[in-house]
Structure 1
Amino acid sequence: MAQAALSVPVFKLYGETAWPTPDLLHCESIPARSRLHDWQIKTHRHADLVQFLYVQAGRAQVSIEGQARQLGPGTLQVVPVMSIHGFRFSEDIQGCILSLAKPALDAMGAGVQGQPFDRPGAYAAGSDRAHLDDLFARLLDEYAVPRAERELMLHALLGALLVWVARRAGERPQQVASAQSRGQQHLAQFSRLIERHFRTHRPIDFYAQAIGVSTAHLNALCRQLAGRSALQLLNQRLTLEGKRNLVYTAMTVSEVADSLGFSEPAYFSRFFKRETGCTPKGFRLQRRGQR
């Protein structure tokens, strides 16, 4: 079983190996991606994001860790980090899928009891159907159209969604969460440590020691479970923050470099171009031209 899991592709969304946006979330309609794949999203997993699939019309067949279920209109499915999953949709499917980076979820859901986002769960909207319909419509709209204070509004809407899921999960009898493998626990711990320290440019040895494993073992786990080395995952988070600052703030390139712990702007520019193929200034101009 463990060997089979290693052959399951690790994607950022589906079919993409790089996070496609400077945001810590991605929001799109279910048909937008599924129609490109003949209404079937084959088995895959995500190393560092949680997904919320909300069905508003049509049907969805969801398989998570070998357990299959049918979702009808007004149902929200939580897909945890690293869970092996796939979807099959009816051609009349309508709804939304929200992908939230684990660091953002950890920060926003820090006070939530019972860890409802660490295990699969399907929740019927029931009398809250209009509330969820409106919530996802506003998330899609706010995500798609840049406005002043966009990030603040997205956080508010996400907070409302997380509270709704947590309360629904709290209404159920307590269930024992499926045990993560030790490797998955270590990867989750590495992700939390990256979020805490990525601006300080600590060596991978530092993270391995904090987790209690060797550097070689941490690298092997990252490659097996996330498809990237430990350093690549660390650089990926640093690059993402650089992108976000370049797109959503008025900071100069020099100020962005300083905020990310680079001793010289030139070092940041070389790092950013190596990771993205584009200079910080070029990336900012390109993104602003798309807005």
Structure 2
Amino acid sequence: MRHLASNRSPRERNLLAAPVPVPKVRLYVETPETQQSWFVNVGHVTEGGRRRTAPHAHPFYGQVIFVRIGKGVMNLEGSSVPFEGPCALLLPNECVHGLEYEIDVDRWVVTIEETYLKQVNTKLPEFMQLWTEPRVIPLSYDAEAPADFYGLIRRLEQEIRSKAAGHAVGTEAALTSLLLMLARGTRLDQIDQEGATRKAIRLADRFRELIHQHYRENLRLQHYASMMAVSPAQLRAACVAATGLSPTKLIHARLITEAKRNLIFGDMSIEQIAYGLGFIDTAYFTRFFRKEVGQSPSQFRLAARDHTHQAM
């Protein structure tokens, strides 16, 4: 998609549309009081009454929230996704989300440091696929699944607290078992498993990192492929095998994600957002956004803000 054709200078573009900061929330395990390294943390929250957290992102780690009892709604980049326990909410690093829990929710929160999570994910291609997007994973597919998952959570918690020999190995084993159960309960079979080799998934993961760095620059697919020392055909095959999406669709998805964040969190005009993302004009950006989202940017902004006000 060639959407860059503006005569504006980089400085003018920066003045028009500075990046909108997404609220970042750090965990209590990162506070100075602990003064120790951590890779995995398990927290238990039992609350009476309704509770809501505004949309935010977690830097440097992913989360699995096990909703044992209760239900609610997760706000993912402006879209409302209902959930009901027993289920697991899987939130990748930097995923923008808000959570609204209803009365008497019992939940366990597993937080995994980003580098450690990547290390564990290399054990199985399905683990990498699991974290490609936020998910609500019902645990009602098997009568024993909720109790088994709860057992894994408690085992993981015990290993983290243990000072016994081999507790680090035990922690990794418990976390691996937990992720394996989530992978088996997720419809990853909808993606071409035969083609989704470890190499393809790693290639697609590298491509997503490059998109994150360069999505405003409107680079051609050939440019991305050259940076990765592969052919465009190899890149297309890897992306489709690992994610079910073409490289172009992945680029579009990143642009839409940033556009949504600007619309939800920022006060810039639609024109400013369009130029900030490299579009030639507002009309082109509006057509692109409507095609991908089903709403115009202004409609999406109004609906997202109405939802936020109603929830408060």
**1:39-94 C-alpha deviation (Å, 9 max, x unpaired):** 22221102221110110011232112222222211111111111111111224111
Deviations 1:114-151 (A, max 9, x none): 52112111111121122101111222333345444322
1:38-57, aligned counterparts within 5 Å? 39-57=51-69
Distance 1:71 1:92 in 2: 14
* TM-score, structure 2 as length reference: 0.50
Identity %: 20
Counterpart residue identity of residue 28, structure 1:
G
Written as runs of structure 1 = structure 2, the 5 A alignment for 1:1-291 is 6-13=20-27, 21-31=36-46, 39-113=51-125, 115-126=129-140, 127=142, 128-144=145-161, 146-174=163-191, 182=210, 184=212
When normalised by structure 1's length, the TM-score is: 0.53
Q: Rg: which structure is higher?
A: 2
Instruction: Check whether the contact 1:81–1:118 (CA below 8 A) recurs between aligned residues.
Output: no
d(CA) in 1 for partners of 2:50 and 2:84? 19
Task: State the structure with bigger RCO (CA 8 A, min sep 6), 1 or 2.
Answer: 2
* Matches of 2:151 and 2:40, distance apart in 1: 18
| Inter-partner Cα distance in structure 1 for 2:132 and 2:173 | 21
CA contact (8 A) 1:54 1:74 kept: yes
Q: CA RMSD in A?
A: 3.6
Following superposition, the deviation at residue 95 of structure 1 comes to 1.8
Note closer, same or farther for the CA distance 1:19–1:79 as it changes in structure 2 (3 Å cut).
Answer: farther
SS at match of 2:95: coil
Q: Secondary structure at the match of 2:185?
A: helix
Instruction: Give 3-state SS (helix, strand or coil) of 1:143's partner.
Output: helix
Alignment gaps of 5+ in structure 2: 1-16, 193-203, 215-226, 229-312
What code does the residue aligned with 2:134 have?
P
Task: Write the letter of the residue equivalent to 1:58.
Answer: G
Would you say how many aligned residue pairs link Structure 1 and Structure 2?
Answer: 182
Find the aligned partners of 1:102 and 1:19 in 2 and give their Cα distance: 21
